[in-house]
Structure 1
Amino acid sequence: MRVAADGEARTTAPARGVPGRPLARHRLGPGFWIPLVWTTMVVVLAATANLLPLRSPIETDFSVISNWPDATWWFGTDQLGRDIFSRAVFGARISLIVGLLAPALGLGVGISLGLAAGYFRGRAESVIVAAMDAIMAFPGILVVLAVTAYVGANTAVLILLLGFLTTPAFMRVARANTLVFAEREFVLAARAMGATHARVLTFEILPNVIIPMLTYALLVVSRIIVIEGVLSFLGLSVPPPQPTWGNMIAEGQADLATLPYIAFIPSGLMFLTVLSINLIGERLRARTDFRGSAL
């Protein structure tokens, strides 16, 4: 309310950004929904690939070698006459399996260690932080190269390795958030009422820590998809002829001058998927970060 020059009281419109009104940066908008539609479409196609009327991704047809994209071959065919659309759909499976399971493994271990370090502090925190620092000191790509060279390249090994290497980052985020909530009033009240440490961690701190952890996990997923693509390109993921986006790019690099679509199509699919996951994670991070939003 304001007072006009004539003394009459008049009501003014509420200021933008006041408590109770969602800030512009908290609205999801097209920058969230369009990437979500793309990511959902990729996941559904990859999950239902065996049910779709697609050619086998490893079936060769020498009558249609290096056929450019057209109405029959949506993404064209490669140097062996294999359907690139089918290979792209089946190849998305490996990228998504590794991209989801490796961060899930790192998240599960990292959040457990982070909760323990941030809540108990003292010697437990020192040991956990030192161990995570030691893991982060290893050059990750060299660890993957060494292990896969020794035990062979397969999806399970890759998931375990990448999950192990992502654990320190998740632990740091979980520990930082635990430190914020460990001395809050509702936690102190639960302790005063006789709640055990396990109950406090599970029912008081974890629900407040898990949301920012999940939004951060989305950003890690996009990074893991890129890393898996790089390893596939180097021949350190699933061996051919099983398609992955990375080895599809590798197969097309020799013919970039004459058949650029063979490498550009899987590259574009990986780019759009990683970008979409990043945008979704960033929008959710802004949506769930209410610090200072009501000041």
Structure 2
Amino acid sequence: MADTPLQDQSLQTPQASAQDQENRAAQEAARKRGRFGLFFWIPSAWLGFIIFCAVFADLLPLLPNDEMDFLALAAPPMATEEHFLGTDLQGRDILSRILYGARVSLTVGMVATAIGMTFGLMIGLLAGYYRGRVETAITLGLDTLLALPGLVVLLLASVIFGGSLTIVSVSLGILLIPPFARISRANTLNFAQREFVVAAKAMGARDFRIIVFEILPNVVLPVAAYALVLVALAIVIEGALSFLGLSVPSPTPSWGGMIAEGRENLDDSPHVSFIPAIFMFLTVLSFNLVGDTLRSKLADLRESAL
């Protein structure tokens, strides 16, 4: 009888060790899922640098972005001590104009995305929750807006109302409503059938309370993660409009405008177009990488919660 506890302990030890190994493996897998990795932190650092320079450009030791140096026209990078990234065809400092031009690109990208996300989120919530005729009418309106050629709409808006920062941001924001509304509607359809929503309806909660307090907190996260990708898209579209001369008027610097200024002198002064193009490429790529990482992490959290 005295040996029974020892025998029981010896029998339980392999089971306990196997369970401990499973727990450790699960914890290690959870830690790996929680790590963001270099493809998140390096793009985040670049975006932080660009946003900081754009916001505090007036406080940085930069040359005036509209000052012309006639002794250094189209100077290549590091040709002079004053112009680290060189000058454009009019002798203006490229580094200064890039950082001031980041204000235009980031403002258009973020404001347009905020407009599209705000209205698209609300429209998608209504379509996914009420279904029926409401969903049919909203879907028809979204499909109609998607059928419009976006670049033509932006060109018409710039020609009719003028190429200002406000007009470009609002016009582009309207065109971004349908993709946000579709993401919002798809997630609303998913959460509208969950137990907590059904329980809230059974308790007599009003539709407004259910939408705002039960569904919205679950829908806003995937929509916000998708917003980073559309910020990148908006920056590219603004660059295209600036390239065509239909965004902010000169001499206000913008990345697309700077690329356009050097297109006729690519053989002699390729840096005039290539340097702002590199900054735009890295910024757009960073927004995409950060957005993709956040969406994948959010999907992992959903799978672990199920």
Same-fold call, TM cutoff 0.5: yes
Contact 1:153 1:239 in 2 (8 A): yes
Q: Which residue of 1 aligns with 2:294?
A: 284
Sequence identity, in percent?
47
Q: Which residue of 2 aligns with 1:43?
A: 51
Q: Which residue of 1 aligns with 2:200?
A: 190
Deviations 1:165-206 (A, max 9, x none): 010110000000000000111111112222211111111000
- The one-letter code of the counterpart of 1:277 is F
Q: Does 2:255 align with 1:257?
A: no
Deviations 1:34-92 (A, max 9, x none): 11000000000000111222222111121221222114311111111100000000000
Q: Which residue of 1 aligns with 2:165?
A: 155
More displaced stretch, 53-62 vs 155-164: 53-62
- The one-letter code of the counterpart of 1:42 is I
Contact 1:66 1:80 in 2 (8 A): yes
Q: Does 2:65 align with 1:57?
A: yes
Q: Does 2:124 align with 1:103?
A: no
Unaligned runs of 5+ in 2: 1-10
Q: Does 2:30 align with 1:22?
A: yes
Counterpart secondary structure, 1:180: helix
What does 1:1-295 align with in structure 2 at a 5 Å threshold?
Answer: 10=14, 11-12=17-18, 13-14=21-22, 18=26, 21-22=29-30, 24=32, 26-70=34-78, 71-289=81-299, 290-293=301-304
Provide the C-alpha distance between the structure 2 equivalents of 1:66 and 1:78, rounded to a whole number of angstroms: 5
> Does the C-alpha gap of structure 1 residues 250 and 54 become closer, same or farther in structure 2, counting only changes over 3 Å?
same
Counterpart secondary structure, 1:22: helix
So what's the TM-score if we normalise by structure 2?
0.90
Provide the C-alpha distance between the structure 1 equivalents of 2:225 and 2:106, rounded to a whole number of angstroms: 17
Q: Which residue of 2 aligns with 1:3?
A: none
> Does the C-alpha gap of structure 1 residues 19 and 8 become closer, same or farther in structure 2, counting only changes over 3 Å?
closer
1:294 shift after superposition: 6.8
Contact 1:18 1:294 in 2 (8 A): no
- Please give the root-mean-square deviation of Cα atoms over the aligned residues, in Å: 1.9
So what's the TM-score if we normalise by structure 1?
0.93
Bigger radius of gyration: 2
Counterpart secondary structure, 1:247: helix
> Does the C-alpha gap of structure 1 residues 170 and 294 become closer, same or farther in structure 2, counting only changes over 3 Å?
closer
Contact 1:216 1:281 in 2 (8 A): yes
Provide the C-alpha distance between the structure 1 equivalents of 2:146 and 2:34, rounded to a whole number of angstroms: 33
Structure with the larger RCO, 1 or 2 (CA within 8 Å, 6+ apart): 1
> Does the C-alpha gap of structure 1 residues 179 and 65 become closer, same or farther in structure 2, counting only changes over 3 Å?
same
Counterpart secondary structure, 1:66: coil
Counterpart secondary structure, 2:68: coil
- The one-letter code of the counterpart of 2:297 is R
Counterpart secondary structure, 1:59: coil
- The one-letter code of the counterpart of 1:54 is L
Provide the C-alpha distance between the structure 2 equivalents of 1:204 and 1:176, rounded to a whole number of angstroms: 16
Deviations 1:137-176 (A, max 9, x none): 1010111112212222111111111111010110000000
- The one-letter code of the counterpart of 2:153 is V
> Does the C-alpha gap of structure 1 residues 31 and 17 become closer, same or farther in structure 2, counting only changes over 3 Å?
farther
Counterpart secondary structure, 2:88: coil
Provide the C-alpha distance between the structure 1 equivalents of 2:27 and 2:144, rounded to a whole number of angstroms: 44
